[in-house]
Structure 1
Amino acid sequence: MTEAVFRETSAEPRTESVPLSHLSLELGHLHMEDLREGPDRLRRHFAAVRPWIDAARAAVAVLTGGRTLRLSTCFLIDDYFTRFSTPAELVPMLLSAAGEADLVIDYLARESGCAIAEDVHLAEAVTRRLVESPPPGSNGFRPPVSRTGWLTNGQRTPSLRTSAAMTATRWKPPSETGAVRHSIHMDVELWDDRDDHRTWSCPFLAAVWQLSRLGLLRDDGRPVPQPAPWKGEGFPDDWDDLPALLRLTPSAAPFTAYFTCTVLPTRFLPVEHAVRVILDQIHVDSTALGQIAERSAREGIDIPVQIADRASYVFPPGL
């Protein structure tokens, strides 16, 4: 006789799916020192960005097989490391400069929202999903990322041991895991702790930002952050009063997407290399991954298995 087993449905958290655009196109990720230069700096930025938008559209349109392209745009403001001006003063200036270049910003995000959004400690939650890739021949001597705050894409140069009871370790070059003949080794600082306060690094927050745009962040099964609609009224005077993610265009395509493309100045290239190192070592929610894989299969769109390969970049000259 088979014994029936009953479970409370609330005991099994349901992973909610997210709507998906084909492409999330980031029109800028400027820091406050850039924004201090005022409207002219913003105009130059969007004028430099504009010619590359059509190219990004065309590249993703090939992947959709001729279907109508679902594309949303976003812009990230740094209010985490430094704060300048107010949303009431800055956001209208930003939207006006974009409009002069015939560009529309559908979603506006605050970088501090990559650390904490909707009372969810996003950055902290992502650290619990870090799974370091041990390099070949590693012996466990290296402390884990949870203790050091550093993540690497390979084998570091061994530290010299000078204790009399130990033989000094012979120097060896660092090596990249999975290198193609020659290594490009990188060590990435994810955070630092000073005066009982943790400050997340720019690469780590940017990795959280990519996961958010790719629809891979969940809190107890709930997608986070979720875009808050803008009601067309004025913007607040305090950054903390602005939602972590704001939908500026009511009819915009979904914020989350199969692919992301980010237009950045070349000085951000090392940061985005670090982002790829981080994304390659995050154990993403398997149900969320499965939902996106199933949806893309129904649409006949091939998406890479590796999360980092779903993100692309444009570094226009002179930006």
Structure 2
Amino acid sequence: MTEAVFREAAAEPRTQAVPLSHLSLELGHLYMEDFEAGPRHLRQRFERVRPWAEAARAAAAAETGGKRPRISTCFLVDDYFARFAGPAEVVPMLLEEAGRAGLDVDYLARESGCAVAGQVPVAEAVARRIVEEPPPGSYGLRPPTAQTGWLANGERGPVMRVPQAMKKVAAWSPPKETAARRHSVFADVELWDEGPDGHRTWSCPFLAAVWQLARLGLLRNEGRAVLVPQPHTHTDFPEEWDELPELVRLNPRANPFAAYRTCSVLPNHFLAVEHAVRVILDQIEVDPGALAQAADRSTQEDAAVPASVADRVSYVFHAGQ
């Protein structure tokens, strides 16, 4: 006999929908060393980005069958690993140099917002959604990610240890990628570390994975959307980063921040970090309500997205700093 289960309707959190563009186009990241290099360095960076950004726009138009795609641009500033200057000094310079290179920045994000947004511990919530893929033939000898802070895309090789008396040394074996194509490309990613006081510092790859989920419109906290753009309604920017919203809409006429797909135009030294991002995204159980909304709406627009979240993310890596 099947027992009926009754729940209060209010107890079932609804998944808040977010508007979606076809493409979220990231024009770059700004770190302390980029700021210290000065306006000319930024201008050169944007000039390298422009042709690739134009190519990404053309590709998005081709994927929508000739229809005009909804594309929004974004830029990420690192205020998590190092605080430098302030929005009042950094943002106008960034926007001016982008404009000189023929680029418009619709949205500006603070990297610290990928760790904590308002009162929401975003990174911690995403970490709880990690579902590790056990390598074929593994026996659970490796501690779980929740304990170690490390996540791999396969099985690492055994560590050689001095054997106990009368026992043979275990033979070495190479690490193995779970989804290898003939040969393995094994990656072991550090998601966080902790100081003596127990404070957790999230790694660049993990925050970048959270950033991708935000751009894909897939972040939720108890059904509510996380990292929602806030309009910039003031004449000037504040002096302190904490006084600036985690995600700011700079262009009032911009297309939606989140999108079915993302493309990031970055210097090639980010390649290793973004490989780690894919390893992370492949092992996160994304909010099913958010996934269903994106799938339904993209199908209605004849812009179907891949089932794999990681496959919705693309990059252009260019030479130069």
TM range (shorter): over 0.9
Q: TM-score scaled to structure 1, two decimals?
A: 0.96
Q: Which runs of 5+ in 1 are unaligned?
A: none
| 1:265-294, Cα deviation, whole Å (9 max, x unpaired) | 111000000000000000001111011100
Map of 1:207 onto structure 2: 209
Residues in 1 aligned to 2:61 and 2:31: alpha-carbon distance in whole angstroms: 31
Is the partner of 1:41 in helix, strand or coil? helix
Corresponding residue for residue 81 of structure 1: 81
Q: Does 1:22 align with 2:22?
A: yes
Residue identity opposite 1:181 in structure 2: R
Q: Which residue of 2 aligns with 1:227?
A: 229
Identity in percent: 63
> Which residue identity does 1:34 align to in structure 2?
D
* C-alpha distance in structure 1 between counterparts of 2:112 and 2:175, whole Å: 34
Name 2:107's counterpart in structure 1.
107
Counterpart of 1:162, as a letter, is: V
Cα-to-partner distance string for 1:211-235 (whole Å, 9 max, x where unaligned): 0000000011011011010014211
How big is the shift at 1:178? 1.3
Partner of residue 48, structure 2: 48
The residue aligned with 1:133 is 133
In structure 2, C-alpha distance between the alignment counterparts of 1:150 and 1:175, rounded to whole Å: 16
**1:168 positional shift:** 3.1
8 Å CA contact 1:263–1:314 kept in 2: the answer is: yes
8 A Cα contact 1:161 1:167, kept in partner: no
Q: Deviations over 1:245-276 (max 9, x none)?
A: 00001111000000100011111000000000
Give the partner amino acid of 1:79: D
> 2:58 maps to what in 1?
58
Partner of 1:188: 189
Aligned mates of 1:83, 1:281 — CA distance in 2: 31
SS in 2 for 1:235: coil
Tell me the SS of whatever aligns to 1:123: helix
Q: Which amino acid aligns with 2:117?
A: A
Q: 1:262 to 1:8 in 2, by over 3 A?
A: same
Number of equivalent positions:
317
Equivalent residue, structure 2, for 1:274:
276
**Distance change in 2, residues 1:192/1:6 (3 Å):** closer
Cα distance in structure 2, aligned partners of 1:188 and 1:4:
44
Q: Which residue of 2 aligns with 1:311?
A: 313
Quote how far apart the aligned CAs of 1:36 are.
Answer: 0.9
User: Secondary structure at 2:318's aligned position in 1?
Assistant: coil
Distance 2:30 2:92 in 1: 15
Cα contact 1:159–1:169 (8 A) shared by 2:
no
Q: Paired residue for 1:148?
A: 148
- The aligned counterpart of 2:252 is 250
Larger mean CA deviation between 29-38 and 146-155 belongs to: 29-38
Structure 2 alignment gaps of length 5 or more: none
Aligned to 1:160: 160
- Structure 1 residues 153 and 7: CA distance shift in structure 2, 3 A: closer
